A and B are shown apart, each in its own frame.
Chain A
């Protein structure tokens, strides 16, 4: 499989799927955060300079906090995501799929210094490309993983057919799945493509074009056990 799915077994015995985020999306998130920080810097520099030495002191402390603790605070208190990560729908998790705590977050962000070496996250990138879950050195040491945040899934309802049909011949499991997939994905396909796909199954439906599509829907409904056919 070319997928980068990462599986976690929960204490309840079920398995969770995570999709690790790769270098490109993470660099983009970093860039967004960088811009946000740059804006905060310039705003602070402007306003705090009005306060003379006291302001400069505050500015130095803010720079320190932004530099080292900006990611830590967001990861711990904002569901594992800095604003940049949140925008790109990725977040930092523990390897066990739980939210990161102070220890993990601090480790991965302090060791960022090494990831950054020799220039522009060189070591970090090399490390990310040499393990299957795209971890940089800080992630490896802290036991954290950066994964895509699951979108809220709108479950599609199958096309309404009022009636359903039993399959004329028994299909293998994979074939049944393909049929269901076709029915679930129907809203994302163009009519031409639907017809093209449905016509492949004429030996099963004994029909072509629009009627073939409807028959396939009815088979799918039958497989799910909806609108059972009147015998």
Chain B
């Protein structure tokens, strides 16, 4: 078939497809029954592209058809999932499933985080100089004023929101860095886990030693479960990337990394969710002086139990 005959025969189809694509680009659907014709039209054009190439029609015709097919391909094979439904499903089934799948990595991440934390806590009780090795005198001074039992700082609700913003920016960024650091053969994640463990342990140890327990622990009990779990999960996600690079098994390193990343990202979604919840609690609940320490301890302990149950006991199958 000569090119001009070919063009005359199918020009209408191509124009129709192009109109469709323009509509789809702007999320404008005329009506669903019309939409059902789109795949057919697209597949016809795929065939025309193959024919045009095979018959060596002019480069411009081939390029035009290539473009139509490329655009059609993107619409036909796009995934437009329902976000709300996905979030609910993620919390109920997918997240526990991914936690369960990675329990050994999460265990390792826990070890890398909590062992330095406890060690650092112990070190502050026995070795005075350890604290100064980690933090400057200025930072310590700030901490002592913040948690001093004498300070009667009744925070404004406005100030609560300021701290909410601060926790979100600061904590989630740390989580993201911990994850990304895994790409350096897991070293980055390991570093952030150990480092944050040491700092948190030192702060808790120091405030306990100087007798600020009654202000410090009621403050942290509420959000600590969620926040620490989120850090551990970010670390585990990063370690997964590192492990894939170190031990790719029977895959190429690149393939192993890609597979690891596609699974690790679910742990990160979970970590983001937990960080957000923790920031909410830390800003609006933990800091609230009107709530008595007893209630804070009760609620905090309950949250720890819920978190541990969620991580250790839920064994859902992933919906497929």
Question: Interface on A for B, CB 8 Å cutoff?
Answer: 10-18, 52-54, 56-61, 63-64, 67-68, 79, 93, 96-99, 101, 103, 106-107, 110-114, 137, 140-143, 150, 152-153, 155-156, 173, 176-177, 180-181, 184, 223-226
Are A184 and B4 closer than 8 Å at their CB atoms?
no
Distance, CA A17 to CA B71, complexed state (A): 12
Question: A150 to chain B: closest CB distance in Å?
Answer: 5
Is the CB of B184 closer than 8 A to any CB of chain A?
A: yes
Most A CB within 10 A of own CB, among B47, B176, B261: B261
- Using A54-B162, A181-B59 as known contacts, say yes or no to A99 and B265 having CB atoms under 8 A apart: no
Main secondary structure, interface of A, reads helix
Distance, CA A140 to CA B262, complexed state (A): 12
Are B69 and A113 closer than 8 Å at their CB atoms?
no
Are A224 and B3 closer than 8 Å at their CB atoms?
yes
Question: A6 to chain B: closest CB distance in Å?
Answer: 12
5 contacts between A and B (CB under 8 A): A57-B163, A98-B74, A103-B265, A107-B265, A150-B67
- Using A10-B69, A141-B241 as known contacts, say yes or no to A59 and B60 having CB atoms under 8 A apart: no
Are A113 and B176 closer than 8 Å at their CB atoms?
yes
Are A153 and B162 closer than 8 Å at their CB atoms?
no
Contacts of B60 in A (CB 8 A): 153, 155-156, 184
List CB contacts (< 8 Å) of B182-210 with chain A: 183-184, 188
Is the CB of B50 closer than 8 A to any CB of chain A?
A: yes
Contacts of B58 in A (CB 8 A): 180-181, 184, 224
Are A13 and B257 closer than 8 Å at their CB atoms?
no
Q: Name B56's contact: one of A10, A16, A143, A177 (CB within 8 Å).
A: A177
* Minimum CB distance partner of A51 in chain B: B158
* Given A57-B162, A225-B4, 5 additional A-B pairs, CB 8 A: A14-B47, A53-B158, A57-B164, A58-B165, A110-B268
Interface residues on B, range: 35 or more
- Using A53-B156, A61-B169, A106-B265 as known contacts, say yes or no to A10 and B73 having CB atoms under 8 A apart: yes
Main secondary structure, interface of B, reads helix
Contacts of A52 in B (CB 8 A): 158
Distance, CA A57 to CA B176, complexed state (A): 20
Are A99 and B165 closer than 8 Å at their CB atoms?
no
Contacts of A225 in B (CB 8 A): 2-5
Question: Interface on B for A, CB 8 Å cutoff?
Answer: 2-5, 25, 42-43, 46-47, 49-50, 53, 56, 58-61, 63-64, 66-67, 69-70, 73-74, 77-79, 156, 158-159, 161-166, 168-169, 172-173, 176-177, 179-181, 183-184, 188, 241, 254, 257-258, 261-262, 265, 268-269
* Minimum CB distance partner of B272 in chain A: A106
* Minimum CB distance partner of B5 in chain A: A225
Are B165 and A61 closer than 8 Å at their CB atoms?
yes
Question: B161 to chain A: closest CB distance in Å?
Answer: 4
Distance, CA A95 to CA B180, complexed state (A): 21
* Minimum CB distance partner of A222 in chain B: B2
* Minimum CB distance partner of A103 in chain B: B265
Are B180 and A61 closer than 8 Å at their CB atoms?
no
Contacts of A12 in B (CB 8 A): 42-43, 46-47, 69
Question: B313 to chain A: closest CB distance in Å?
Answer: 27
Distance, CA A56 to CA B163, complexed state (A): 9
Are B169 and A114 closer than 8 Å at their CB atoms?
no
Contacts of B262 in A (CB 8 A): 103, 107, 143
Question: B43 to chain A: closest CB distance in Å?
Answer: 6
Question: A64 to chain B: closest CB distance in Å?
Answer: 4
Are A111 and B168 closer than 8 Å at their CB atoms?
no
- Using A64-B172, A184-B60 as known contacts, say yes or no to A111 and B162 having CB atoms under 8 A apart: no
* Minimum CB distance partner of A56 in chain B: B162
Distance, CA A68 to CA B162, complexed state (A): 19
Distance, CA A205 to CA B70, complexed state (A): 40
Are A141 and B64 closer than 8 Å at their CB atoms?
no
Are A110 and B180 closer than 8 Å at their CB atoms?
yes
Are B169 and A224 closer than 8 Å at their CB atoms?
no
- Using A97-B73, A225-B3 as known contacts, say yes or no to A16 and B66 having CB atoms under 8 A apart: yes
Are B164 and A98 closer than 8 Å at their CB atoms?
no
- Using A52-B158, A67-B173, A184-B58 as known contacts, say yes or no to A97 and B183 having CB atoms under 8 A apart: no
Question: A20 to chain B: closest CB distance in Å?
Answer: 14
